[in-house]
Structure 1
């Protein structure tokens, strides 16, 4: 008789106990939650152009700091107040609404040899990362595009408040204050160096309201209002064709 050869086939696998399967599923779920992006629970807000303003100060021939403002900024903000690491910000600043308090100054600043408002009517800031310093303070690092040039600029931000606004339409509102400083030469704005300083100090005051479709129900229905009230003052029309006068 021919001896029977031993079989080398793998033994049949036994099904894992139900308890083991449940443990594995729980482990996978915990891992997924641990690696979930920081902005998973964040909410979207729209900048309020009426209550958002950029102030800038620059030396006027060493005699004083010329101060101007730009109103009407728009953009979006997404953040979780319990975890700022995943916050994201995009802002557009309409330079044609620049106001230095004098029509001649405004035209000079928007002229081709300075901001060139006809060619570059907006400045844009897009955040790249947030560096938390305290529950209400952090550095927002981002790319500022001005005069057709993009540079990294850090904003020192203070988180002022997040609560339901006391006035209609009673939307949830976030408020921030921020400061920064830039070199105008780094953005290719280098005309009149003996009259206009290179360092430009920025101060930003901003409010943002809960965006459409992302309300948690405690602020009332409807989209956030970004239009000024009927009795609110409106900004004067910006010049459409900046000239090249000498700075006053």
Structure 2
């Protein structure tokens, strides 16, 4: 009986290990990953801001989005808004408070597939020391070998909406809108170990 129990436990552990490894490890390409935000400017226009150099790791199996895991880090001081004075103002304490909290972070908690190329990704966004759940509408644009690097690359587009007041940013309500729209473009490449494993698999050549 003990031998049978040990055999069953070993089989379960092997199965669990196989499930865990099904989602490959990817790394966001900071050159081709951008976070754009849009917010109302006193009713006259939508002010645009851009965060480049976004870093992050992704666990992703296109056959099963539910196993996906995402962690993203956004360096706030890299903000681009087209005017140095306005940029510096937005990095102060009433807004991003980049001196005390230089990085925003998103960590996924669950993924709800919509179809083969779309999913809703839920997670905690940490900004200015405050955490709040945000939902991303994500589209997989393409998963293929990059024509220049020949590395397997996944490209995504995503959108989200949030209320800046949820993160303690409630200054200038008559000038800056409360609702903020995020538009995200991201590319991720397989990490070296998973790239080598995929190269050895004829299915992925």
Q: How big is the shift at 1:39?
A: 3.6
1:187 aligns with 2:154: no
Question: Which secondary structure state, in structure 2, belongs to the residue aligned with residue 192 of structure 1?
Answer: coil
- Equivalent residues in 2 for 1:75-114 (5 A)? 75-114=56-95
Aligned length: 198
- Equivalent residues in 2 for 1:1-248 (5 A)? 29=11, 38-167=19-148, 169-216=149-196
Structure 1, 157-166 or 31-40: larger mean CA deviation = 31-40
TM-score (norm 1): 0.73
Please tell me whether Structure 1 or Structure 2 has the larger radius of gyration of its CA atoms. Answer: 1
CA-based RMSD of the aligned residues comes to 2.5
Distance across 1 between alignment mates of 2:77 and 2:61: 33
Question: Which secondary structure state, in structure 2, belongs to the residue aligned with residue 112 of structure 1?
Answer: coil
Structure 1, 109-118 or 175-184: larger mean CA deviation = 109-118
Distance across 1 between alignment mates of 2:111 and 2:18: 14
Gap change, CA 1:88 and 1:199, over 3 Å in 2: same
Distance across 1 between alignment mates of 2:89 and 2:18: 46
TM-score (norm 2): 0.88
The CA deviation string for residues 112-157 of structure 1, in whole angstroms up to 9 with x for no partner, is: 2211111111100000010001000000110000111000111000
The answer for the alignment partner of 2:203 in structure 1 is: none
The CA deviation string for residues 170-224 of structure 1, in whole angstroms up to 9 with x for no partner, is: 211011000000100000011111111100000000000111222145669xxxx
Distance across 1 between alignment mates of 2:17 and 2:151: 29
Unmatched segments (≥5 aa) in structure 2: 201-205
Q: How big is the shift at 1:164?
A: 0.7
| Structure in which a larger fraction of residues adopt strand | 2
Q: How big is the shift at 1:38?
A: 4.4
Question: Which secondary structure state, in structure 2, belongs to the residue aligned with residue 205 of structure 1?
Answer: strand
